[in-house]
Structure 1
Amino acid sequence: MRIVVVDDQTLIRKGVISILLLQDKWEVSGEAGTKKEALLLIQNAKPDLAIVNFHLGKDSGLNVISEARQTDSTCKFAILTYSNDPLSFERAKELDIDGYISLNAQPEELVYAIQVIQRGRKYYDPDIIDLLMQTQKKPQVDDHLAEKLTSKEREVLQKLGLGFSNRQISESLFISENTVKKHVSHVLTKLNLGDRTQAALYANQTGLVR
């Protein structure tokens, strides 16, 4: 797997690269310190994964991801951050990022996160998930509401509980992404939930995810 590292702080950038270079199966295809450099690097190196700092000087790593995807890049993206702010995490999730990795993580945690991403799954730092579980208003578990769901909607809800993106749900259930979006909307409406995160919590609390 070809990986590029994007961080405006040289020390962090070099540290991440040194960890990656210890893994024979991964190739570091380049590094960048600004959004402009990052977009050129992604375009030219065509990496499989870009590890991008959430804060990139006066810019945001999320802007790098958003603009890179407009060029039809097939690159996967993982965010590096010190922040455990739920709002920052939600902003990143809206871009369907593949990883959200704490800069406080140990080297082996970084390696594990990349291995998870390489297998086609998403990696979210456990600390941010714990924080979301603590701060997120827990949905009222109501079996009568759950009974309103169709069998396909229950399947979609289960996948949400596993942290699947719309694309992953589409592939696993053999339906289009537009159909997935409609099912998600119906699930939220029928269960009186505000967003996907609440739906995921609901699925876990009701035992739909085992």
Structure 2
Amino acid sequence: MSGGDRPASERTIRVVVADDHTIVREGLVMILRSAPDIEVVGEASDGEQAVAMVQQSQPDVVVMDISMPGTSGLEAIRRIRRDWPQVKVLALTIHESEDYILHVLRAGVHGYVVKRAAGQELLSAIRAVMRGESYLHPAIVQVVLSDYLHRLEHGQEEPLLTEREREIVRLIAEGYKNREIAQRLNISLKTVETHRANIMQKLNINDRVQLVRFAIRTRLIEP
């Protein structure tokens, strides 16, 4: 990797790497340690460890696998962006589907690197976000552009939902079941079911897949 895309500042970039697959994580760390301007200051195998490592080491950048056990990478990203807004977050995943990409981007990441290209792109992505830029793999750029043009063409507007309904939509989109939502929000299962029915009626949809797609496209899921 040439030095041409290095940040203007010569300060070493401190990086935390989070991935639950040991071989993948070690490979990423090896790539990063080959760069003279990057220092790996922590490793994590799940989202909870990633958050703890950020608190402990105060890195400049977190390279976060999204699909991890326990606290997901997506939830960890939200917590990091909320508590340490100065930390840059790069999402690392095998997923390239439209809904998944948009969901991740709206969690507040600064860049999106697909694993099949991580070896070629990771150093450039880290340096780009440290310059204040966003970094998206070319396939991801096409998805984002297509989504924008679709919404522009169809004049989609966000339906009027209450704050509680918006919260429930977000949890449904993240895969929580009604009972789990009730526990997280400290409300009854019947209340969740009523809210869910109202949401479906307002959005004129009849299954969870449609709900998730609509929520992502119309930005009902907040970072």
Q: Which residue of 2 aligns with 1:70?
A: 82
- Counterpart of 2:134, as a letter, is K
Q: CA RMSD in A?
A: 2.3
Aligned counterpart in structure 1 of residue 100 of structure 2, from 88, 99, 104: 88
Residues 115/69 of structure 1: CA separation in 2 closer, same or farther (3 Å cut)? closer
Aligned counterpart in structure 2 of residue 137 of structure 1, from 146, 150, 160: 150
Q: 3-state SS of the aligned residue for 1:50?
A: strand
TM-score (norm 1): 0.62
Q: 3-state SS of the aligned residue for 1:51?
A: strand
Q: Which residue of 2 aligns with 1:119?
A: 131
Conserved in 1, the CA contact under 8 Å of 2:78 and 2:108? no
Q: Which residue of 1 aligns with 2:113?
A: 101
Q: Superposed, which structure 2 residues align to 1:23-42 within 5 Å?
A: 23-42=35-54
Q: Which residue of 1 aligns with 2:60?
A: 48
Q: Following the alignment from structure 1 to structure 2, what is the Cα–Cα distance between the partners of residues 17 and 95?
A: 24
Q: CA deviation at 1:96?
A: 2.1
% identical aligned pairs: 28
Aligned counterpart in structure 2 of residue 57 of structure 1, from 55, 63, 69: 69
- Which structure 2 segments of 5+ residues have no match? 1-12, 154-216
Q: CA deviation at 1:7?
A: 0.6
Q: 3-state SS of the aligned residue for 1:83?
A: coil
Q: Following the alignment from structure 2 to structure 1, what is the Cα–Cα distance between the partners of residues 109 and 76?
A: 12
TM-score (norm 2): 0.58
- Which structure 1 segments of 5+ residues have no match? 141-193, 197-210
- Counterpart of 1:97, as a letter, is V
The structure 1 segments of at least 4 consecutive aligned residues displaced by more than 6 Å after TM superposition are: none
Q: Which residue of 1 aligns with 2:23?
A: 11
Structure with the bigger RCO (C-alpha within 8 Å, sep 6+) is 2
Deviation digits for residues 181-209 of structure 1, max 9, x if unmatched? xxxxxxxxxxxxx768xxxxxxxxxxxxx
Q: Which residue of 2 aligns with 1:179?
A: none
Q: Number of paired residues? A: 144
Q: 3-state SS of the aligned residue for 1:92?
A: helix
